[in-house]
């Protein structure tokens, strides 16, 4: 698995920007206390928690796309969307967050099945991370585990929506039965989290 210098930079910037955006969401700041809050122990703790949960969920989601694409003979690299990252940070400051930090772009000859499996790899990685997070929550670190569980369930469900550039649209185009099965373990739990828990 090879990573270009640009790809490593984009992954690092996206990871840090997402950590910052979610930290700003959970530890609100204003123009009058920005410096004080950013230097506070509460903010630094939140930043570390966001990097370890949201950041890792995002990184492994994107790297799963890359691993499967490379397995199918594709040239694949992550590219950050710096405009959307800036919007995420601004949204965190405003108390509302939408994050679309970038995507893995791949090229080469590919079948519809391979394309569908590449798309499916990201959300299924988040499902696996959600299960791992549940174990962490129930055993060693409830706060870290809960945040990891929450973000991975939502990330898996959101990405499987069959719309536009989201993974779900690609999976549905490849196979309706595969999409239906994936939706049960991704969109189902996300709806449960949003409307029941």
Q: Write the DSSP symbol of residue 55.
A: I
Q: Is 36 a catalytic residue?
A: no
CA distances from 68 to 7, 52, 88, 120, 172 (A): 17, 23, 28, 9, 18
* Cβ-contact 92, 20 below 8 angstroms: yes
Q: What's the gap between Cα 3 and its chain centre?
A: 19
Among the listed residues 7, 36, 45, 62, the single catalytic one is 62
Q: How many Cα atoms within 13 Å fall on the side-chain side of residue 2?
A: 5
**DSSP assignment, residue 107?**
E
The pair of structure tokens assigned to 42 is: 């509460």
Question: How is residue 1 written in tokens?
Answer: 């698995």
Q: Which residues are catalytic?
A: 62
């Amino acid at each position: 698995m090879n990573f270009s210098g640009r790809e490593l930079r984009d992954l690092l910037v996206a990871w840090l920007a997402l950590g910052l955006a979610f930290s700003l969401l959970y530890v609100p700041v204003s123009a009058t206390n920005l410096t004080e809050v950013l230097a506070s122990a509460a903010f630094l703790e939140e930043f570390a928690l966001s990097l370890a949960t949201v950041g890792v969920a995002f990184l492994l989601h994107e790297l799963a796309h890359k691993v499967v694409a490379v397995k199918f003979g594709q040239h694949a690299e992550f590219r950050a969307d710096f405009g959307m990252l800036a919007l995420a940070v601004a949204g965190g400051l405003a108390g509302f967050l939408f994050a679309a930090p970038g995507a893995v772009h791949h090229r080469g000859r590919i079948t519809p099945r391979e394309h569908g499996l590449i798309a499916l790899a990201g959300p299924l990685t988040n499902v696996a991370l959600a299960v791992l997070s549940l174990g962490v929550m129930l055993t060693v670190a409830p706060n870290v585990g809960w945040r990891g569980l929450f973000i991975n369930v939502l990330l898996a469900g959101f990405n499987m929506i069959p719309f536009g550039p989201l993974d779900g649209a690609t999976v549905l185009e490849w196979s309706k039965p595969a999409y239906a099965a994936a939706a049960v373990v991704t969109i189902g739990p996300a709806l449960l989290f949003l409307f029941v828990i």
